[in-house]
Amino acid sequence: MSDPSKLAIALHYEKGSNAPVVVAKGRGTIGEKIVEIAKANDIPIEENEILAGALSKVELGEEIPPDLYKAVAEVLVFVLRLSGRR
- Give the Cβ contact number of residue 1 at 10 Å: 5
CA 58, 59, 65, 71 torsion: positive or negative? Answer: positive
- Give the Cβ contact number of residue 69 at 10 Å: 14
Which pLDDT does position 78 carry in this prediction? 83
Q: Give this prediction's pTM.
A: 0.85
- Tell me, what amino acid is at 84? G
The fold for domain 7-82 equals name from scop (3.40.1690)
Does pLDDT of 4 surpass 80?
Answer: no
The residue extents of the domains of the chain are 7-82
40-66 confidence digits (pLDDT tens) = 998 888 899 999 999 999 999 999 999
CA distance 67 to 70: 7
Extract the runs of DSSP E, i.e. beta strands, from 1-86. 7-12, 21-27
Which pLDDT does position 85 carry in this prediction? 62
